[in-house]
Chains A and B, each alone.
Chain A
Amino acid sequence: MTSAKDPNSIEWLGERLARKEDLRLVTGKGKYLADIVIPGTLHAVFVRSEYAHANITGIDLSEAESMPGVVAIYTGENIKDRINPMPQAIVQPNLPAKYPTFWPLAVGKVTFHGEPVALIIARDKYIAEDASELVLVDYEELPVVLDPEKALSRNSTVVHEKDGTNEIFSMTFTGGENEEAQNSNEAEVNAIFESAPVVVKERFKTHRTGLTPMEPRGVLCDWNESDGLTAYITTQRPHIDRLALSDILEISAEKVRVIAPRDQGGGFGVKAPFYRENIIIAYAAKSLGKPVRWIESRYESLMNVGQERDQINDMEIAADLEGNLLALRNKGIADNGVGTTGVYWGFVMPFLGAIELPNAYKWPKAHISLKVATTNKACLTPSRAFGHFPTRFALERCIDMVAHKIGMEASELRRNNLVDALPYTSVTNEYYDSGDFLKVWDTLVEKADISAFRKRQSEALNDNRYIGIGFGCGVELSGVASDLLVPMENQPGYGAATVRLDPRGKVQVFGGDAPGGQGHETTTAQVVASEFGIDPAAVVVTTGDTGTTPFGSGSIGARAGSYFVSAVADACRELKEKITRILAYDLKIEARTEHFEFTDGEVIYIGDRSKKSSFVSIVERIIMFPINLPENEVGGLDATAFFEAAKPMICFNADCCVVEVNIETGDFEILEWMTTEDVGNVINPMVVDGQMHGAIVQGISNAVFEEFVYDDQGQQLTADFENYKLATAADVPNIDIHYATTPCPHTPLGTRGIGEGRPSSIPGALTNAVCDALTPLKIEITELPLRPNSIWEKIQQAKQP
């Protein structure tokens, strides 16, 4: 068939279409959770633990209860017989772990600084806050567990006594399913290390940091006997929250509706777990028969969520003198915090971080294991680059150290060892479906022009200026396949979308995921517009409401560009089949869907372009005038499609940066940041660029500025933005993006989901550049955060004879 496409028609895929959601957002008309008003709403404020580990010996509510305007106060003791405790199957992974038992309010003892102890419900938020200060809690302090290595020792205090240990999770990821196979694999790896010409062995430490959406969390629950519970939650996975609320509060599922507001102020993983606050606010609304609202303060947010990355990785790499990687050995220890967060329990992030550790390199052999320790800190929360920010920092740093030992350009060593034939299954059994890693890498290296840089570097050094170049790369998940998501989170991975045409030829799309700024309304409209040959303005997208959308596991793991838009495209194509079947019948021609073109608001028979219908007319005819139809056809145009690729899918990126280090102060400046990515076919380049910019700057901000600090009593010292510093516009560089795309062969549009894993290659690339600048001093940095003071100390040590 020849292509008869009108050259003047607009191809919506790949267009830099300005976003549809912006009009309301730039005029202050967005509706975020805190903007939703239900008359008569009561306000909730939590009383939170002042200690990291202590028995609760008494709670005196008398003063708070007598305050005018206070409606109710809940404590762990008065809810524990009325609410099912966690864990519950819907939010418990199919992974062997010691899941702690807990209620939304502390029962018996507190296990971290900031844990909810009591909940005040009042008519006004100022009164609720006043009353919360009148609650007197008596504590009996217990020894605190803060160091993950000590936590794993036999004589450590145990945080959750029923488990008898702080080891919440451990696993070996290489060698096979059973212990015998894993041990024999480890023995083979050990043998390689014994005879390898080059071995680098280091301990890498990454600090506690993560993501902090600008909109904190919030819950607004409404109850009536007839409809049941309506819960507005800042959440990335409303359908999972619905099932969890139903199970925990024993409300029959048809009486639970969860709505993630259309506008959410960022998620980045932080709004993906099922949180205890959801349970108690829903319980309060049901008990009181009145709407109840909790809006998290920034202080509470920084005390409780957005903390990840806290790992030690003892890593060893064996190589030969030509720069071939021979084996990888890594023993990880992760500081889990208390582990009382639904879906993730803290350890799910380091679990995936270990699986993703091998990255894009061909490892003939590897031994990778992980132990995760419970401590008296806030539970790890998923944060973009889920689990593998620490392992990738360690790996990318360690590879540079191997290159330094051999005397080779680190970028060349990387290229020599990149996976060059896809599909590929990694040493941890992760499946890489498609792409061209070398194309991505070579695009970056060409832009970086290393030989020119080395000349510039040596000239700079003559002027006593220290500049350096650093590289990093990352294989990232493009959506999370059921193969991985069922064991990891006890949830399906498929994408789901309903596409509904109306008699005026307009389109509604319904998705069960719940975005927080990724631009779903625009990119989805571009996909629909492209499929039907109509204007994206005619497409309206609804997400996040369990009352109207098909089941989806949530806006997680770059599922939009991979799974969700694929389901949208499949649903459109199902409708196109029906439209063309009926149109062919009306036109009295023998033709199938592929003989028609949907373009510029028309459906045209390619064999004779005079035979056509306007899109609106045929749609109206099928929905409103379903008479004289072909046999076995009925009217109506509405389709729900589920998409799942046969195997997991990935995307691949590489980063390069140039820095200048001030040798006197240890301060450094990022002079250039270049990035390449295989994003597959692009729906909207502006949106894709925005995802990359954001992720890269989050990586820089995490690596350099942010750190959650606990003192030796487990007191969290960084619960405000003065002390937990995020990068400002003046702190970060511009970013130079180059695409090196290969269409994904496993999605209907050739798209890949991108953006989720992106921050992970940043700290390695950045630290590699700083170390490269300091080559004359032979400095190797193995810890984050990357701060001027720690660099200065390294410089002083290196200068000592």
Chain B
Amino acid sequence: MKNIKLTVNGEKFEEQIDNRLLLVDFLRDNLSLTGTHVGCTYEGVCGACTIHLDGDAVKSCMLLAVQADGHNVTTIEGLSADGGLTNLQQAFNDEHGLQCGYCTPGILMNMADFLTENPNPSEEQIRHGLIGNLCRCTGYVHIVRAVKKAAKMLKDSAHEDRT
């Protein structure tokens, strides 16, 4: 057992946990943050469990909870700071970028990070950026369209902020 301290979605937690507990299970079972999903059962392939660790997209099934000790975690529940939809979430709704929605939280967390690094992505860059996320429903067409739209929305809102 180990005592860990971490921040999740802006809230501070201190928990006594089993050393072998996976971060994804800690988030889902201990903190009831069930928006983070398990799709490949801890292979790190499907990306449904993607979260942000200190702002970077990582797969929470590939980390032990103890590795998050002292770090700042954001899950899909905390993606929007103000409780509304972010541009990215809105774009997925507008462009029908999801069907069953199981892979969606992981895709949103990955793409939120991706758009920070690639504010003007080409379609090819988006498709490559999505390699770590499997989606079985959409054929990716509307996902790519949604990410493109989100990039434009982010650019437009940045422009509005400046003017």
| A contact set with B: CB distance below 8 Å | 18-19, 21-23, 25-32, 34-35, 37, 126, 211-216, 263-266, 268, 297-299, 516-519, 686-687, 689-690, 693-698, 720-722, 726, 728-730, 732, 734-735
Contact = CB atoms under 8 A, between A and B. Distances in A.
A693 B135 contact: no
B48 interface: yes
Contact of B100 (A517, A687, A689): A517
Interface stretch (B52-60, B63-71, B138-146, B155-163): B138-146
Contacts, number: 183
B94 A698 contact: no
Interface of B: 18, 20-21, 28, 32-41, 43, 45-46, 48, 75-77, 79-80, 85, 89, 92-96, 98-105, 108, 123, 126-128, 130-131, 133-144
B136 A298 contact: no
9 contacts: A22-B101, A25-B98, A25-B104, A26-B105, A27-B77, A214-B135, A517-B137, A694-B136, A728-B130
A211 B20 CA distance: 32
Given A213-B136, A730-B127, A517 B99 contact: yes
The main secondary structure of chain A at its interface with chain B is loop
A726 B35 CA distance: 23
Nearest to A301: B41
B35 A28 contact: yes
A403 B11 CA distance: 67
Contact of A26 (B36, B93, B137): B93
A669 B90 CA distance: 33
A114 to B, nearest CB: 14
B134 A720 contact: no
B40 A721 contact: yes
Contact of A266 (B46, B94, B105, B137): B137
The main secondary structure of chain B at its interface with chain A is loop
A31 B101 CA distance: 10
Residue of B108, B127, B130 with most chain A CB atoms under a 10 A cut-off: B127
B96 A27 contact: no
A732 B94 CA distance: 22
A312 B32 CA distance: 49
Given A27-B35, A722-B43, A734 B102 contact: no
Given A214-B46, A728-B133, A734-B141, 9 more contacts: A25-B101, A27-B35, A214-B137, A265-B37, A265-B100, A265-B103, A721-B40, A728-B140, A730-B130
Nearest to B80: A27
A215 B28 CA distance: 15
Contact of A215 (B37, B85, B94, B123): B37
Nearest to B147: A729
A298 B40 contact: yes
Contacts of B36: 28
Given A28-B33, A34-B34, A214 B134 contact: yes
Contacts of A216: 39, 41
Contacts of B32: 37
Contact of A34 (B38, B46, B79, B89): B38
B40 A720 contact: yes
Contacts of A689: 96, 141-142
Residue of B40, B96, B101, B126 with most chain A CB atoms under a 10 A cut-off: B101
Contacts of A698: 136, 139
A732 B79 CA distance: 29
B142 A215 contact: no
A761 to B, nearest CB: 15
A720 B18 CA distance: 26
Contacts of A32: 34, 37, 102
Contacts of B130: 728-730
A694 B105 contact: no
Contacts of B34: 28, 31-32, 34-35
Q: List the 4 closest A-B pairs by CB distance, nearest first.
A: A28-B35, A517-B100, A265-B102, A697-B139
Contacts of B134: 214, 721, 726, 728
Contacts of A686: 95-96, 142
Contacts of B37: 32, 34, 214-215, 265
Contacts of B133: 728-729
Contacts of A22: 92-93, 98, 101
A32 B36 CA distance: 11
Contact of A298 (B33, B39, B77, B108): B39
A690 B138 contact: yes
A732 B139 contact: yes
Contact of A29 (B18, B35, B98, B141): B35
Given A214-B39, A214-B102, A27 B85 contact: yes
A265 B18 CA distance: 29
B85 to A, nearest CB: 7
Contact of A28 (B18, B21, B46, B76): B76
A25 B100 CA distance: 8
